Amino acid sequence: MKLNPIHIVGGGMAGSEAAWQIAQAGIPVVLHEMRPVTGTFAHQTSDFAELVCSNSFRSDDHENNAVGLLHWEMRAAGGLIMEMGDRHQLPAGGALAVDRHAFSAAVTERLTSHPLIEIDRAEVSGLPPADWGSTIVATGPLTSASLAQAIRAATGEESLAFFDAIAPIVYADSIDMSRAWFQSRYDKGDTEEERTAYLNCPMNREQYDRFIDALLAAEKSEFKDWEKDTPYFEGCLPVEVMAERGRETLRHGPMKPVGLTNPHNPTEKPYAVVQLRRDNALGTLFNIVGFQTKMKYGAQTEVLRLIPGLEEASFARLGGIHRNTFLNSPRLLDGQLRLKSHPHIRFAGQVTGVEGYVESASMGLLAGRLAAAEALGQRLDPPPFTTAIGALVNHITGGADARTFQPMNVNFGLFPPLEDARGGRRGRKERYKAYTDRAKAEFTAWLGAAAQPGGPAAQAAQ
């Protein structure tokens, strides 16, 4: 059977992995990469899978850590990024750090020497045309301006963000519910779920003053020059900038204490209230509303733990604001990572709203496998959301709230809770091991099903 090539736009972490998965399934690939003809402000070379900043793939602990589990799944699926990462590993304790130049050079060599991969060094400046057939767009956080413009025109103004204004995200089971309570302001909402959509943490005057002092004193990162010219962040001012505008500004903004009654102390009106909103359908993660911040990570945990109810908080993700091009995937993509309005186009990598090198590569791995199966006339569903890859894709294509969607690292808060696991911080170690055991068994079964007679891998080998 003669197969049409699958086009991939962008040879970064996701595009490289997708190209490898498709070519290994026996399907030709055309990989379009704009470097070195057109550069980005962060990439320095023309190699594929260049690491633009740190050289770490983070924790390699596949028993107790969600990133380590993601490594495990990508290795099990024959991932190129993990194979080359392992081969060019540097000593880094429990983390997987790599020799960045040797790593990218090795990925480049594998892709350029593969007989089924054709490389096109050119910028794709418009939406991939329908006559290309199946295409994966993996152009990353620094997608070129003309392609970003074309995606915006095709999907709508609000659908492609240029800034990542992340409010910190807290694990629900680390919030002290003897201090916090569920209630929407003025009990607004038609359903009980809407009336209790927020978790509230009250402050008295003394606590508010201490909090503002700490916020003002905390160490912050600077905006980079190229970030300063981008007009998109006026609408999401960092919380510390609001505090600098006046000590009472937050109390009249995101921390206003109105429309709320503290059931733990109904007679005393709080002086200020920090609100947290559910961040995923499972209700395991909550973001702190309006708390996007440029505080450095160490300072951030110290300041946020001053909030009553968050003294013992564990963070799935700390806050930040930086340049990042990403889609409103929960609204735009289907469960196969296809653009609903143009189903010949899949998206993969950071542009789908995952965050991090390995998360991006894992979405390339999945998009590559899904596109390969489709080209072979096979139906392949993503892995179940009890696995790291499944949990991530489920989050970006449906689990997250489209109205407040922000990019996400892989973390155990995205996994469906285990029925009989011990809750709280104390049960964490046992719970994480149970999550990773369950994920490994289910990921192995998913890989096995794909390789069954008649499955995508079997058909490709014919």
Q: How many CA atoms lie within 13 A of 231 on its CB side?
A: 0
The residues pairing with 164 across neighbouring beta strands, listed in sequence order, are 322
Looking at 3, 24, 30, 40, which residue binds ligand FAD (CB under 6 A)? 40
Asked if 369 touches ligand FAD (CB under 6 A), the answer is: no
Asked if 34 touches ligand FAD (CB under 6 A), the answer is: yes
Helices 66-76, 80-87: crossing angle, 10 deg rounding = 110
- Going by the annotation, the residues of the binding site for FAD are 10-15
Tokens of 174: 């680390």
Asked if 46 touches ligand FAD (CB under 6 A), the answer is: no
> Is the Cβ of residue 74 or residue 147 nearer to ligand FAD in the bound state?
147
Minimal distance, residue 43 CB to ligand FAD, in Å: 6
Looking at 171, 211, 347, 357, which residue binds ligand FAD (CB under 6 A)? 357
Asked if 65 touches ligand FAD (CB under 6 A), the answer is: no
Asked if 329 touches ligand FAD (CB under 6 A), the answer is: no
Asked if 67 touches ligand FAD (CB under 6 A), the answer is: no
Answer whether 387's CB lies under 8 Å from 442's CB.
Answer: yes
Q: Which residue is nearest to ligand FAD (CB)?
A: 12
Asked if 320 touches ligand FAD (CB under 6 A), the answer is: no
Start-to-end Cα distance in the chain: 9
- For tokens 């413009």, name the residue: 149
Minimal distance, residue 170 CB to ligand FAD, in Å: 21
Between CA 96 and CA 61 the distance in angstroms is 9
Asked if 356 touches ligand FAD (CB under 6 A), the answer is: yes
Asked if 168 touches ligand FAD (CB under 6 A), the answer is: no
Minimal distance, residue 323 CB to ligand FAD, in Å: 6
How many CB atoms within 10 Å of residue 9? 28
DSSP 281-342: TTS-EEEETT----B-HHHHHHHHTTSTT-TT--EEE--EEEEEEEE-HHHHB-TTSEETTE
> Is the Cβ of residue 32 or residue 346 nearer to ligand FAD in the bound state?
32
Between CA 59 and CA 309 the distance in angstroms is 29
Looking at 142, 272, 276, 307, which residue binds ligand FAD (CB under 6 A)? 142
Name which of residues 96 to 125 contact ligand FAD (CB under 6 A): 123-124
Asked if 37 touches ligand FAD (CB under 6 A), the answer is: no
Answer whether 13's CB lies under 8 Å from 50's CB.
Answer: no
Angle (CA) 369 359 357, round 5°: 115
Answer whether 275's CB lies under 8 Å from 259's CB.
Answer: no
Asked if 147 touches ligand FAD (CB under 6 A), the answer is: yes
DSSP 76-127: HTT-HHHHHHHHTEE--TTEEEE-HHHHHHHHHHHHHT-TTEEEE-S---SP
Between CA 69 and CA 75 the distance in angstroms is 10
Name which of residues 382 to 411 contact ligand FAD (CB under 6 A): none
Between CA 429 and CA 189 the distance in angstroms is 38
Residues binding ligand FAD: number (CB under 6 A): 33
- Going by the annotation, the residues of the binding site are 10-15
Looking at 350, 362, 387, 397, which residue binds ligand FAD (CB under 6 A)? 350
Reported in sequence order, the residue ranges of 147-187 that DSSP labels E, i.e. its strands, are 160-166, 169-171, 181-182
Looking at 5, 10, 85, 330, which residue binds ligand FAD (CB under 6 A)? 10
Minimal distance, residue 156 CB to ligand FAD, in Å: 20
Asked if 35 touches ligand FAD (CB under 6 A), the answer is: yes
Minimal distance, residue 218 CB to ligand FAD, in Å: 22
Looking at 8, 14, 313, 365, which residue binds ligand FAD (CB under 6 A)? 14
Minimal distance, residue 28 CB to ligand FAD, in Å: 18
Minimal distance, residue 237 CB to ligand FAD, in Å: 21
> Is the Cβ of residue 143 or residue 394 nearer to ligand FAD in the bound state?
143
Asked if 238 touches ligand FAD (CB under 6 A), the answer is: no
Minimal distance, residue 89 CB to ligand FAD, in Å: 16
* Dmax (CA) of the chain: 76
- For tokens 């993969």, name the residue: 348
Q: Classify residue 407 as exposed, middle or buried by CB count within 10 Å of its CB (0-12, 13-18, 19+).
A: buried
Asked if 440 touches ligand FAD (CB under 6 A), the answer is: no
> In the complex, which residues of this chain contact ligand FAD (CB under 6 A)?
9-15, 32-35, 40, 42-43, 52-54, 123-124, 138-144, 147, 349-351, 356-357, 360
